[in-house]
């Protein structure tokens, strides 16, 4: 018998016995091994029995034997591959756990060797990296040798594969797994430049991770798409997120901002940052950086550049952190990680709640500035809202929020402030700005929609409306055109830019453009049933100290809140024009129509309008009966015609005035024909008047009938009436503004 024949015989006998008498099978193999200790198959058979029975310790020992004595056997490599695969996977089944336990029984030296050899056999970068990571995690001493090279390999792979998003498998492994090992290993001496590079790689990853859009691809650019695809009540927060190439479990990054802070603390300690006391909160960091910045001018050379890098790195992180918090409150659906169903977006606009007051009218007509100043306002300097330089104007502006609608309003405003302060700090020195811009361009922050939203709001806050307009146009370019539609929830996220544009134009005094934008918004709105309470009432007004017209307001981005804002903005636009020295009946008419909203808030203004009409002795507004349904107003106008009322000549019926003279200066260039074409509702609704028109008595009769009919319309939904007003009179409205 040959040796091979003997071995085959022995193994065969053992195999025959395995199922019926496993002990006997093992006895055979033990005997066989003492006879032929150098035979691989005998030992492999022994191992197979133990592995199949999932006996961890004995299988481990036998595997060790084979690894030491038969390192070249393919079967051994197969086993090692299976085991290392189990180590890398997060599979929880019994066999995978057994394999991991098996590996644990091996002596460290062997584990190390096994992982290294298995790594050598890997051709896939990701697998290789994961394998090497297993090694580094287990054997910290190997980090010195392999840590940085593994990190560089991953970063290299990322650039070779030309991955668009920093949220990719290579970066994830680098930032979350390799980097902590490298920077926490005290035997490693890394140059500061490398530490900064790694820090920035980590920051870019964590920020991109946390701000990823709700769409599964994790691309920020695609986030708007996710918004439009949103179906009501879809549990978006629980959406699974997988980084391509990784398992679901290893795609999860817990507490990204905290991890980033951890890395910042370690890098800080390693770079021996000024006064760095390790981990702290983002707000604390900003305070510390502000202090540090004061010393910057006194520094020079390496200390200066070191300090500068510290300030820029830290402040940049604070900026992005607080900007993220702000945007996630203002537009929660933007982020996958943050969105909760039913979260409403918020939009930063000029506060128009003072639109019904007469104060700004006084101011605009320079003659009467002294007349009606209220005490609290006296201290404020007069400043036109369209000051372009805006320097100093943004400081201390007040933002009004409905506290009941937004429970986290205080935190949100804090975040907004912190972010603004960080931004200011980064732009307080040219050198800082340069360094910050370098980071921004390498991270392509220009493509970050959420950051653009913050920046726009910041610019609006600073009162730099001209700049805000270009920022808003930029913002609009993020959104694909087909997005313009009202979602079922009545959320107007996609109108946010348009509304803000209107608000900015208004603030710049560009009323016509403001009105144009507002009307565009309104045409996309669906009028809501009139609610019982007014949205503006629950806003805490601590405004007495602040000058009217410079406050901002955060409005929830819904039809319910936006429609009133649009009406107020139009009112604000027309009001200035209506009450000038020059007669402008059309503007005054629009004002009267708009004053109906929120009645009787606008009572004082209405009375002022009536005064003006009385002074003029006549008033012509042909749309009156189409859009004025307010009983108080109707009564007032009925009274004006009477002798007691001053016998004011009212031309409120369509076409009545057209026969007499040109309608208004604003419409001067528009032909009558064109006018009638544009006002079809007017024509159809009042056709019967044509029968008796032209005769004074007939006109009186018409007026009386119209009044009577109008009184019966008082119950109509005012918002529907005003919505119709905006839509039907769109062109005339725009054209009646300079």
Task: List interacting residues with another protein (CB under 8 A).
Answer: 1-3, 6, 9-10, 13, 21, 23-24, 26-28, 30-31, 34-38, 50, 55, 57-58, 60-61, 64-65, 68-69, 105-107, 109-110
SS3 403: coil
Query: Smallest gap, in angstroms, from Cβ of residue 127 to another protein?
Result: 28
Residue nearer to another protein on the CB measure, 29 or 472: 29
Query: Smallest gap, in angstroms, from Cβ of residue 184 to another protein?
Result: 28
Query: Smallest gap, in angstroms, from Cβ of residue 93 to another protein?
Result: 23
Helix/strand/coil (H, E, C) string of 50-106? HHHCCCHHHHHHHHHHHHHHCCCCHHHHHHHHHHHHHHHCCCCCHHHHHHHHHHHHC
Query: Smallest gap, in angstroms, from Cβ of residue 45 to another protein?
Result: 14
Query: Smallest gap, in angstroms, from Cβ of residue 62 to another protein?
Result: 8
Residue nearer to another protein on the CB measure, 35 or 229: 35
Name the DSSP letter for residue 287: H
**What b/e sequence results for 145-180 when a residue is b if at least 16 CB atoms lie within 10 Å of its CB, and e otherwise?**
ebbbebbebbbebbeeeebebbbbbbbbbbbbbbbb
- Which residue pairs from 477-481 have beta carbons closer than 8 angstroms and sit at least 24 positions apart in sequence? 478/221, 478/224, 478/449, 478/452, 479/224, 480/224, 480/225
Query: Smallest gap, in angstroms, from Cβ of residue 31 to another protein?
Result: 4
Residue nearer to another protein on the CB measure, 106 or 557: 106
Measure the CA–CA gap between 119 and 654, rounded to whole angstroms: 87
Query: Smallest gap, in angstroms, from Cβ of residue 274 to another protein?
Result: 49
Query: Smallest gap, in angstroms, from Cβ of residue 101 to another protein?
Result: 11
Measure the CA–CA gap between 116 and 135, rounded to whole angstroms: 7
Contact 230, 339 (CB under 8 A): no
Nearest CA-CA partner of 182 in 307, 270, 312: 270
Q: Name the pairing type of β-strands 346-350 and 552-556.
A: antiparallel
Residue nearer to another protein on the CB measure, 6 or 387: 6
Residue nearer to another protein on the CB measure, 46 or 173: 46
Residue nearer to another protein on the CB measure, 107 or 392: 107
Where does 177-278 show beta strands of DSSP type E? none
Query: Smallest gap, in angstroms, from Cβ of residue 13 to another protein?
Result: 8
Residue nearer to another protein on the CB measure, 110 or 252: 110
Query: Smallest gap, in angstroms, from Cβ of residue 190 to another protein?
Result: 34
Cis peptide before 600 (omega within 30 of 0): yes
Residue nearer to another protein on the CB measure, 60 or 345: 60
Contact 609, 685 (CB under 8 A): no
Query: Smallest gap, in angstroms, from Cβ of residue 61 to another protein?
Result: 6
Residue nearer to another protein on the CB measure, 17 or 727: 17
How many Cβ atoms sit within 10 Å of the Cβ of residue 278?
Answer: 12
Residue nearer to another protein on the CB measure, 36 or 511: 36
Contact 603, 634 (CB under 8 A): no
CA dihedral 407, 410, 412, 416 (to 10 degrees): 160
SS3 348: strand
Q: Per the structure block, which two tokens stand in for 79?
A: 């086993």
Cα Rg of the chain, angstroms: 37
Residue nearer to another protein on the CB measure, 26 or 517: 26
Residue nearer to another protein on the CB measure, 10 or 182: 10
Query: Smallest gap, in angstroms, from Cβ of residue 4 to another protein?
Result: 9
Q: Per the structure block, which two tokens stand in for 726?
A: 């905006």
In order, the DSSP letters of 498-541 are HHHHHHHHHHTT-HHHHHHHHHHHHHT--PPPPPSS-GGGGB--
Residue carrying the six token digits 């055109």: 481
Alpha helices in 524-661 (DSSP H): 559-578, 585-595, 603-616, 624-627, 631-641
Query: Smallest gap, in angstroms, from Cβ of residue 138 to another protein?
Result: 16
Residue nearer to another protein on the CB measure, 64 or 77: 64
């Amino acid at each position: 018998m040959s040796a091979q024949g003997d071995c085959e015989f022995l193994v065969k006998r053992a195999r025959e016995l395995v199922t019926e008498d496993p002990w006997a099978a093992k006895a055979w193999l033990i005997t066989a091994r003492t006879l032929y200790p150098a035979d691989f198959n005998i030992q492999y058979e022994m191992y197979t029995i133990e592995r199949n029975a999932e006996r961890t310790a004995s299988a481990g020992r036998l595997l060790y034997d084979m690894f030491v004595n038969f390192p070249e056997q393919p079967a051994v490599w197969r086993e090692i591959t299976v085991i290392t695969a189990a180590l890398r996977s997060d599979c929880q089944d019994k066999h995978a756990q057994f394999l991991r336990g098996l590996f644990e029984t091996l002596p460290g030296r062997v584990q190390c060797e096994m992982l290294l050899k298995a790594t050598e056999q890997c051709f896939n970068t990701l697998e290789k990296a994961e394998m090497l990571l297993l090694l580094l995690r287990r054997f910290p001493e190997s980090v010195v040798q392999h840590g940085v090279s593994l990190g560089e390999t991953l970063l290299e792979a990322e650039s070779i594969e030309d991955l668009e998003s920093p949220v990719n498998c290579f970066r994830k492994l680098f930032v979350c797994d390799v980097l902590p090992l490298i920077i926490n290993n005290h035997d490693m001496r890394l140059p500061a430049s490398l530490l900064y590079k790694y820090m920035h790689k980590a920051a870019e990853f964590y920020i991109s991770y946390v701000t990823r859009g709700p769409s599964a691809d994790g691309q920020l650019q695609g986030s708007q798409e996710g918004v439009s695809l949103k179906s009501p009540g879809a549990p978006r927060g629980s959406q699974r997120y997988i980084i391509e190439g990784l398992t679901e479990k290893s795609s999860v990054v817990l507490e990204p901002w905290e991890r980033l802070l951890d890395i910042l603390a370690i890098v800080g300690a390693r770079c021996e940052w000024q006064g760095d006391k390790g981990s702290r909160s983002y707000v604390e960091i900003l305070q510390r950086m502000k202090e540090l910045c004061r010393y910057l001018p006194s520094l020079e050379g390496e200390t200066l550049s070191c300090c500068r890098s510290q300030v820029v790195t830290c402040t940049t992180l604070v900026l992005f952190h607080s900007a993220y918090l702000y945007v996630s409150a203002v537009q929660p659906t933007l982020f996958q990680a943050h969105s909760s169903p039913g979260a409403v977006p918020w939009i930063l606009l000029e506060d128009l709640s003072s639109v019904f007051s007469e104060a700004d009218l006084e101011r605009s007509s320079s003659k009467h500035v002294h007349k009606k100043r209220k005490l609290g306002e006296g201290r404020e300097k007069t400043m036109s809202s369209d000051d372009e330089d805006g320097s100093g104007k943004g400081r201390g502006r007040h933002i009004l929020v409905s506290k009941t609608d937004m429970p986290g309003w205080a935190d949100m405003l804090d975040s907004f402030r912190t972010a603004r302060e960080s931004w200011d700090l980064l732009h307080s020195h040219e050198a800082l700005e340069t360094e910050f811009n370098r980071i921004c361009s390498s991270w392509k922050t220009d493509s970050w929609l959420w950051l653009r939203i913050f920046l726009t709001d910041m610019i609006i806050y600073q009162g730099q409306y001209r700049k805000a307009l270009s920022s808003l146009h930029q913002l609009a370019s993020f959104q694909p055109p087909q997005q313009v539609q009202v979602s079922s929830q009545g959320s107007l996220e996609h109108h946010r830019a348009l509304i803000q544009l209107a608000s900015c134009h208004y603030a710049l005094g560009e009323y016509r453009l403001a009105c144009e934008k507002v009307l565009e918004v309104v045409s996309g709105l669906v009028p809501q049933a009139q609610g019982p309470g007014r949205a503006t009432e629950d806003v805490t007004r601590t405004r007495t100290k602040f000058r009217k017209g410079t406050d901002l307001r955060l409005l929830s981005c819904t039809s319910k809140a936006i429609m009133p804002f649009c009406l107020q903005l139009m009112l604000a636009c027309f009001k200035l024009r209506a009450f000038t020295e020059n007669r402008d009946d059309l503007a005054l008419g629009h004002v009267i129509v708009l004053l109906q909203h929120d009645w009787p808030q606008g009572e004082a203004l209405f009375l002022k309008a009536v005064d003006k009409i009385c002074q003029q002795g006549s008033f012509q507004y042909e749309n009156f009966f189409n859009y004025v349904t307010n009983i108080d107003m109707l009564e007032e106008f009925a009274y004006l015609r009477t002798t007691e009322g001053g016998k004011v000549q009212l031309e409120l019926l369509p076409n009545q005035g057209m026969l007499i003279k040109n309608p208004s200066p604003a419409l001067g260039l528009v032909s009558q024909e064109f006018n009638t074409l544009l006002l079809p509702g007017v024509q159809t609704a009042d056709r019967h008047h044509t029968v008796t028109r032209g005769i004074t008595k007939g006109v009186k009769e018409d007026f009386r009938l119209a009044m009577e009919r109008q009184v019966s319309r008082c119950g109509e939904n005012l918002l529907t009436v005003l919505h119709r007003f905006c839509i039907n009179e769109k062109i005339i409205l725009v054209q009646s503004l300079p």
